[in-house]
């Protein structure tokens, strides 16, 4: 009975219409703010939610206080003073105005007009300025290199520096299958042709990377460029260098084949390879032959980088066992072994592996027409003399790298086949 008596006293003091309007207002307001909270969390960054949520909590606290007062009144308040009733009415009016402002604000944010865009931009700018005042240590540097497609443009942490016609393109394409590798498709030629453009220009060529991803590029001519080791070392002393090497005789013929496809009028391979064929004098100044003196070029790189920062890939094994070579490269770069034999398919027509996705049943993706060209027929005597020319340099290269690439076995097999 005490409960009903207190309730009747309360309802007599406060008209039922006011109570109904008050309760309805609370419900509608709570619904609007809930919708605003969801909309705001989707529309703006996290730091903006904090500003909005702080205001929301303050107003919800007021609602809780009023609910507690009403609940306490229903449990035994005998009086609800005129001042309290006036305060309640004023609060209702304030929240009604707040609801109206809320509706207008939502309409403004959802509108595709220029005014809405300008308002949103102004709001974001203000929030960013506040954040910049609080966290101004490195934000300016990050914004310079950050891009709209997520991530940050960085200077490369690994470079494939050589060698031309050794298999660098095949290696790069296989590495790009790895989710933690981002690489430039074209050869930047920064350290040999475009160095005067500066590191900012070079960085801008790189793809954006996320945390944990490696930025890479490949320019095979770096390996034979005299000033490239010093320039790369000045950029990053701890950079990782990858060199794909191939039997220098086969590499020279492949190099000549590429040039011949572009300039059919050039002399024959035999003419270019010798200063005097009768005397057997090899023309080592010819770039196709000079590139294959690997020991000579490696000596320049070892003046700036230890062998622990270099990895040598066998161009021959990259063809016959691409997964095995890729496992070593991934280990060298500190990557998980994701690129495996499931990613390769040997193309008998081209004579080298093609890439495919393990879950994809479509045709494997092979390198372009410029790869796997048929070599011109070279006089076996010329090939034998070139093997003899390269042999001491190969031995020196094996000793410097601690790896035996067994190119002499190819020479022996070619000799036996020619005798047969």
DSSP code string of 305-347 = S-GGGEEEEEHHHHHH-HHHHHHHHHHHTT--S---GGGEEEE
Q: Is residue 71 part of a domain?
A: no
Q: Which residue has the higher pLDDT, 277 or 86?
A: 277
Provide the whole-model pTM. 0.63
Rounded-to-integer distance, Cα 333 and Cα 240, Å: 7
Binned at pLDDT 50, 70 and 90, residue 393 comes out as very high
- Rg of the chain's alpha carbons, rounded to an integer? 37
Q: Which residues are catalytic?
A: 165
Q: Is residue 264 part of a domain?
A: yes
At 164, which CATH number? 3.40.50.300
Q: Is residue 241 part of a domain?
A: yes
Number of domains in the chain: 1
Q: Is residue 15 part of a domain?
A: no
* pLDDT, position 359: 55
For the chain, the average pLDDT equals: 76
* pLDDT, position 330: 98
For residue 353, the enclosing domain spans 152-407
Q: How many CB atoms lie within 10 A of CB 235?
A: 15
Q: Is residue 196 part of a domain?
A: yes
* pLDDT, position 367: 61
Binned at pLDDT 50, 70 and 90, residue 63 comes out as very low
Q: What percent of the chain has pLDDT over 70?
A: 62
* pLDDT, position 409: 87
* pLDDT, position 28: 76
Q: How many CB atoms lie within 10 A of CB 2?
A: 8
Annotated binding site for 3'-phosphoadenylyl sulfate: 165-169, 246, 254, 371-375
Cα torsion angle, 297, 301, 306, 311, sign: negative
* pLDDT, position 110: 42
Closest CA to 181 of 216, 208, 156, 220: 216
Question: Which tens digit of pLDDT belongs to each residue from 2-37?
Answer: 444 444 544 455 567 777 777 777 877 777 766 665
Question: Which tens digit of pLDDT belongs to each residue from 223-273?
Answer: 999 999 999 999 999 999 999 999 999 999 999 999 999 999 999 999 999
* pLDDT, position 24: 79
Q: Is residue 357 part of a domain?
A: yes
Please tell me the number of Cα atoms within 13 Å of 187 on its side-chain side: 16
Rounded-to-integer distance, Cα 323 and Cα 144, Å: 38
Q: Is residue 22 part of a domain?
A: no
Paired tokens of 364: 């494997």
pLDDT beyond 70 at 331? yes
Q: Is residue 83 part of a domain?
A: no
pLDDT beyond 80 at 107? no
Angle at 170 between CA 165 and CA 173, to 5 degrees: 140
Distance (Å) of CA 376 to CA 71, 249, 270, 388, 390: 97, 13, 11, 21, 21
pLDDT beyond 50 at 135? no
Annotated binding site: 165-169, 246, 254, 371-375
**Can you tell me the mean pLDDT for 321-333?**
97
């Amino acid at each position: 009975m005490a409960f009903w008596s207190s309730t009747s006293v309360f309802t007599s003091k406060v008209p039922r219409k006011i109570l109904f309007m008050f309760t309805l207002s609370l419900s509608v307001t709570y619904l609007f703010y809930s919708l605003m909270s969801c909309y705001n969390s989707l529309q703006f960054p996290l730091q903006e939610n904090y500003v909005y949520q702080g205001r929301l909590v303050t107003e919800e606290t007021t609602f809780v206080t009023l609910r507690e007062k009403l609940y306490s009144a229903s449990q035994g308040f005998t009086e609800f003073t005129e001042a309290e009733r006036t305060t309640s009415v004023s609060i209702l009016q304030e929240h009604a105005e707040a609801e109206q402002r809320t509706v207008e604000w939502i309409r403004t944010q959802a509108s595709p007009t220029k005014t809405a865009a300008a308002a949103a931009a102004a709001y974001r700018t203000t929030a960013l300025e506040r954040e910049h005042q609080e966290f101004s240590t490195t934000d300016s540097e990050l914004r310079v290199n950050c891009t709209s497609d997520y991530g940050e443009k960085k200077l490369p942490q690994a470079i494939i520096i050589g060698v031309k016609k050794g298999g660098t393109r095949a290696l790069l394409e296989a590495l790009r299958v790895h989710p933690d590798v981002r690489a430039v498709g074209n050869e930047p030629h920064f350290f040999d042709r475009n160095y005067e453009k500066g590191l900012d220009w070079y960085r801008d060529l790189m793809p954006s990377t996320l945390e944990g991803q490696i930025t890479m590029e490949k320019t095979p001519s770096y390996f034979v460029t005299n000033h490239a080791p010093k320039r790369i070392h000045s950029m990053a002393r701890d950079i990782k260098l990858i060199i794909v090497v191939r039997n220098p005789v086969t590499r020279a013929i492949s190099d000549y084949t590429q040039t011949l496809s572009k300039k059919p009028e050039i002399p024959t391979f035999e003419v270019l390879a010798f200063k005097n064929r009768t005397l057997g004098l090899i023309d080592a100044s010819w770039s196709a032959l000079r590139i294959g003196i690997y020991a000579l070029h490696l000596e320049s790189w070892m003046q700036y980088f230890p062998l622990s920062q270099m990895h040598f890939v066998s161009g021959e094994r990259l063809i016959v066992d691409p997964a095995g070579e890729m496992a070593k490269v991934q280990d060298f770069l500190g990557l998980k072994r994701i690129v495996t034999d499931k990613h390769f398919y040997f193309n008998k027509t081209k004579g080298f592996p093609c890439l495919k996705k393990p879950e994809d049943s479509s045709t494997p993706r092979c390198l372009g027409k410029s790869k796997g060209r048929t070599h011109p027929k070279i006089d076996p005597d010329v090939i034998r003399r070139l093997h003899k020319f390269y042999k001491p340099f190969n031995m020196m290269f094996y000793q410097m790298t601690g790896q035996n690439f067994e190119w002499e076995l190819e020479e022996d097999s070619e000799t036996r086949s020619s005798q047969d």
